[in-house]
Amino acid sequence: MADQNLLTPEEASRYLRLSVGSVYNLLHQGELEGKKKAGQGWVIERSHLESLLEAWGEREELPD
């Protein structure tokens, strides 16, 4: 996606380290704020992902 601040659910799943299905569940449950854009599907602002992570608390880094 061209705008660095807008992410697709697939990009958000990598950012959050969750499955794409989990991201869609969060969107549908209202736990993650996103917008449905005509012809593009869901888009999520990076700031919403950061707020969600902050609400969850710090996540440990995964080992390589």
Query: What domain count does the chain have?
Result: 1
pLDDT of amino acid 4: 79
Angle, CA of 18, 21 and 25, to the nearest 5°: 95
Q: pLDDT by residue (tens digit) across 2-35?
A: 577 999 999 999 999 999 999 999 999 999 999 9
User: pTM of this prediction?
Assistant: 0.78
Which of 8-12, 30-34, 36-40, 42-46 shows the lowest mean pLDDT across its residues? Answer: 36-40
The reply to whether 50 falls in a domain is yes
Give residue for tokens 């794409």.
20
Q: How far is CA 18 from the centre of its chain?
A: 9
Return the sign of the alpha-carbon dihedral for residues 16, 21, 22, 26.
positive
Q: Which residues contact 53 (CB under 8 A, 6 or more apart)?
A: 16, 59
The reply to whether 1 falls in a domain is no
The reply to whether 13 falls in a domain is yes
First to last CA, the chain: 27
- Domain residues for 26? 6-56
The reply to whether 63 falls in a domain is no
